[in-house]
Chains A and B, each alone.
Chain A
Amino acid sequence: MSKPRLVVVGNGMAGIRTLEELLAIAPGHYDITVFGAEPHPNYNRILLSPVLAGEQAFNDIVLNPLDWYKENGVHLHLGKTVERIDRVRRKVVTSDGTEADYDRLLIATGSIPLVLPVPGNTLKGVLTYRDIHDTQSMIDAANVKRNAVVIGGGLLGLEAANGLKLRGMEVTVVHLADTLLERQLDATAGKLLQRSLEARGLSFLLGKATSEILGDEAGEVCGIRFMDGDSLPTDLVVMAAGIRPNTALAEAAELYCNRGIVVSDALQTYDPRIYAVGECVSHRGVTYGLVAPLFEQAKVCANHLALMGIGSYKGSVLSTKLKVTGIDLFSAGDFTGSEDTEEIVLSDPARGVYKKLVIRDDKLVGACLYGDTADGAWYFKLLREGRKLGELRDHIMFGESSVGDSGVQGQSRAAAMADSDEVCGCNGVSKRAIVKAITEKGLFTLDDVKKHTKASSSCGSCTGLVEQILMSTVGSSFQESPKKKAVCTCTDCNHDEVRKAIRENHLLAHREVYDFLEWRTPNGCATCRPAINYYLLSTWPREAVDDPQSRFVNERVHANIQKDNTFSVIPQMKGGVTNASELRRIADVADKYQIPMVKVTGGQRIDLLGVKKEDLPHIWEDLGMKSGHAYGKSIRTVKTCVGSEFCRFGTQNSTQMGIDLETMLANMWSPHKVKLAVSGCPRNCAEAGIKDVGVIAVDSGWELYVGGNGGIKTEVAQFLAKVKTSDEVKEYSGAFLQLYREEAYYLDRTVHYMARVGLDYIKRKVVEDAANRKALYERLLYSLEGLPDPWASRIGGTQKHEYIPLKVIG
């Protein structure tokens, strides 16, 4: 049976991006034909400015070389303009008579530059700035001509002017408004920009309207005249006064257009067989001229073309960056403000720095930065998340580093980094490697960069920095990571939706989850399977059955895999308390199995490193100790100080409290690892301030702190409550941990969970509502009751095959 036919009109960034998205999720679904009016494969239109400025060559900006079309079986017609759509017979016809039938049609005709309706606009030497042909014409003109006028002081106009100046021309920018980039910058920043461009040798005529372009007898441009009667001699006029959606083809086919081709949230036009994406569309009354929204549209459109039918495009928040080397400006959202907004402004004209943040209802709604844009990506993130600023407000102007929100690597700003500087400390990725991957492979999203370079794919602390590099490399085409994050590429569901489905539909097995949520893969992947396994077990304790094959090796074999494929063994040592007999057995095991390293851990236990897998059950048996769970997304250890039994400052028996907590929480699985500490006095020798649950004894009872973290980014735990008895310590800590177990996303530590729901919410559920606290605590005890020690069961033969290698038989 023949495949349905998809015809794409427009071989530009929006159309081809849609194809890429489509091929990724439904390869081979369509027989695809592409028509492009230009004689080139898809190239990165955003990078025309560097080509004009002589910083890159055309070949550098090609996104999909001809081989790409061939490899993906796409029929490509270059240099052919589609003239007509026959919606009745479902075919398109080009100007040279080529025809193609379609079952689905995608219109991605982009936009066309505005040409001012003034006398002389067709003279030789009047150019627009839209495609590689225009760019080449400008480069050619710059070689033989001296004076240029650029009409339009917007992004495109300034980039054109800068490029021509770098090519050696004398350039004057003529602009209708009184300040430059008035749609992207406020007046103050616009003036700063003008000053620095003037310092580079550009001239400006602002508040000027063009009335006529003057020509000589040879029909070539020789000057320009304005409404106020002034005139200026020039050899070249570049019109960069704006673009408008290219809807001629759609209108001729009588598709409903209103400024652009009107599309639904599914990017479907009024003809259900015809979709449209990119600059040619009008979505909810808005047309877009930057690339990030086009890519969001492409993703949704591809989803519908692939017949999945679940994507929905809701419009985009825009940010802007000028691609003129050495000039840093950034704006996003509503940066002009209105009556109901407040502004925070930092102005340092001597340094050439100006920043304005616009706030409404305690949320960031706009940002305009000039001179120092290092925090642009961060502000843009805050803006899109729409989260309440609260205490952040006092520091927000001073950037991400001032609020400690950027992780260990975040202090060094992307722009200031040398190419050889390391960005990702986990995977040893330099700034150069990231920039190279972004430019050579045409990457636009954080996810792409992660996949190709591994940067920020391990601990994630350099994510902000990688986003900054991405942003400064691709400018306005930067694609903010989507707010709703799917669990993995097997699904579009996020963690919340998976949890909800499991809870509300009483799903008990992996298969049921894949079927119910229509997973795209037969049995998930290494990312989603462990998450689902945890959600099943934590939602339906004693009902859902653990699937060992969906656990990471450490949790499957109950030891921690090392770089040389050996394992480490850490026996439980509650509260860090041991005795001579245990130590003797550990020493004997170290001798008998020739353990290469014995090490004291940060959690007050003893680690035996370099153990062969097949020795594990024997070692556990010889040790005669329980599993310390030092390998799992689980309870780890409760660190304690000496406490009132021996310490002259101790106010309570912190050691026993720690032992009691560790006994209560034994064998507990959780979204991520869970560490506790109990200190016997406020000197806090057990470092309870950086634990998921930290308990500090005072003379009158115990103080409870939650959400601390000593890992990638140090976080101080927050005060939850003060209680009197050790039973209350158990109940409050248990209830908090159960809330975390029930609601956090897999691989979120308590600090991440709390950042999402807020401390007030936790207090309401755990401190203020005594009945709820008791219920949580009981659910915790219920799910832990009767869980066997995993080492004991494996000594007894459980999962035996894990530890015994195969031998050749016969």
Chain B
Amino acid sequence: MDMPVTHSWMRICELSEIPRLGSRVLEREAGNVAIFRTSQDKVFALLDRCPHKGGALSQGIVHGDSVTCPLHAWNIDLASGNAKAPDEGCSRHFPVHIDELGAVHLCLT
């Protein structure tokens, strides 16, 4: 029996192209996506828009599993996109997969 297609993955870059504790931006019509890499080489993808005032999260400082928005210093959890308390809000997050060759794949659907 065929499983329904729920994930459509696309390759966007090599892990090494994203700086540790940094990010890259994937441009797209429906809003840019920020791709983050932590010190542990975990990779996360969020809509590049802070829930507060639309700051580009990709430009923030990455620490632990969070990023601090450059505009007004909201802290956003990279895995869920949720703002850390006491701030409230959420930035959409997208599934990311790193294959055995070190290529980063992103699912936008």
Contact = CB atoms under 8 A, between A and B. Distances in A.
- A and B together in one complex: yes
Interface of A: 451-452, 454, 457-458, 521-526, 529-530, 548-554, 557, 561, 563-565, 801, 805-810
Query: Taking each of A451, A452, A805, A806, which has the highest tally of chain B beta carbons within 10 Å of its own beta carbon?
Result: A806
Interface string B49-90: 000011110011111101010111101000000000010000
A553 B60 contact: yes
Contacts of B54: 564-565
B26 A565 contact: no
A552 B70 contact: yes
19 contacts: A521-B63, A523-B21, A524-B63, A525-B75, A549-B21, A553-B59, A553-B61, A553-B70, A557-B59, A561-B70, A564-B54, A565-B55, A565-B59, A801-B18, A805-B25, A805-B27, A806-B13, A808-B26, A809-B12
A797 to B, nearest CB: 15
B97 interface: no
Interface string B37-58: 0011000000000000111100
B24 A801 contact: yes
Contacts of A552: 61, 70
Nearest to B69: A526
Given A452-B86, A526-B63, A561-B59, A809 B27 contact: no
B20 interface: yes
B22 to A, nearest CB: 5
A748 B24 CA distance: 32
A557 B21 CA distance: 15
Nearest to A526: B68
B67 to A, nearest CB: 8
Nearest to A457: B73
Given A523-B21, A806-B26, 10 more contacts: A522-B64, A525-B75, A549-B22, A550-B21, A553-B61, A561-B71, A564-B54, A805-B24, A806-B12, A808-B10
B35 interface: yes
Q: Chain B interface: which size bin? A: 35 or more
A523 B12 contact: no
Nearest to B55: A565
B102 interface: no
A560 to B, nearest CB: 11
B58 to A, nearest CB: 9
Nearest to A564: B54
B13 A549 contact: no
Contacts of B66: 525
Contacts of A451: 86
Interface of B: 10-13, 17-22, 24-27, 32, 35, 39-40, 53-56, 59-64, 66, 68, 70-73, 75, 86
A557 B19 CA distance: 14
B64 A523 contact: yes
Q: Enumerate the 6 nearest inter-chain pairs by beta-carbon distance, A residue then B residue, closest first.
A: A526-B68, A553-B59, A549-B21, A526-B61, A565-B56, A805-B27
A523 B63 contact: yes
B12 A808 contact: yes
A454 B64 CA distance: 23
A549 B12 contact: no
Contacts of B12: 806-809
B73 A526 contact: yes
A549 B19 contact: yes
Contacts of A561: 56, 59, 70-71
A525 B68 contact: yes
A511 B54 CA distance: 32
B53 A549 contact: no
Contacts of A557: 59
Contacts of B73: 457, 526
Contact of B17 (A454, A521, A564, A801): A801
A805 B61 CA distance: 18
Contacts of A564: 54
Contacts of A805: 24-27, 32
Contacts of B20: 549
Contacts of B25: 805-806
A454 B73 CA distance: 10
Contacts of B61: 525-526, 529-530, 549-553
A549 B62 contact: yes
A810 B11 CA distance: 7
A807 B71 CA distance: 25
A530 B13 CA distance: 28
Nearest to A525: B63
Given A521-B64, A549-B61, A810-B11, A563 B71 contact: yes
A452 B87 CA distance: 7
A557 B73 CA distance: 18
B66 to A, nearest CB: 8
A617 B89 CA distance: 34
Contacts of A810: 10-11
A809 B13 contact: yes
Given A563-B71, A806-B35, A801 B56 contact: no
Nearest to B50: A565
Contacts of B27: 805-807
A801 B18 CA distance: 8
B87 to A, nearest CB: 9
A553 to B, nearest CB: 4
A563 B54 CA distance: 8
A58 B66 CA distance: 39
Contacts of B24: 801, 805-806
Contacts of A550: 21, 61
Contacts of B68: 525-526
A628 to B, nearest CB: 20
Nearest to A561: B70
B86 A801 contact: no
A523 B56 CA distance: 21
Nearest to B39: A523
B42 to A, nearest CB: 12
Contacts of A563: 53, 71
Contacts of B17: 801, 806
A550 B39 CA distance: 12
A767 to B, nearest CB: 39
A482 to B, nearest CB: 20
Nearest to B108: A808
B9 to A, nearest CB: 11
A808 B27 CA distance: 9
Contacts of A565: 54-56, 59
A801 to B, nearest CB: 6
A550 B19 CA distance: 12
Contacts of A548: 19, 22
A551 B13 CA distance: 24
A353 to B, nearest CB: 38
Contact of B11 (A452, A523, A524, A809): A809
A526 B67 CA distance: 8
B85 to A, nearest CB: 8
Nearest to A547: B21
A131 to B, nearest CB: 30
A485 B65 CA distance: 25
Query: Taking each of B17, B66, B71, which has the highest tally of chain A beta carbons within 10 Å of its own beta carbon?
Result: B71
Contacts of B18: 801
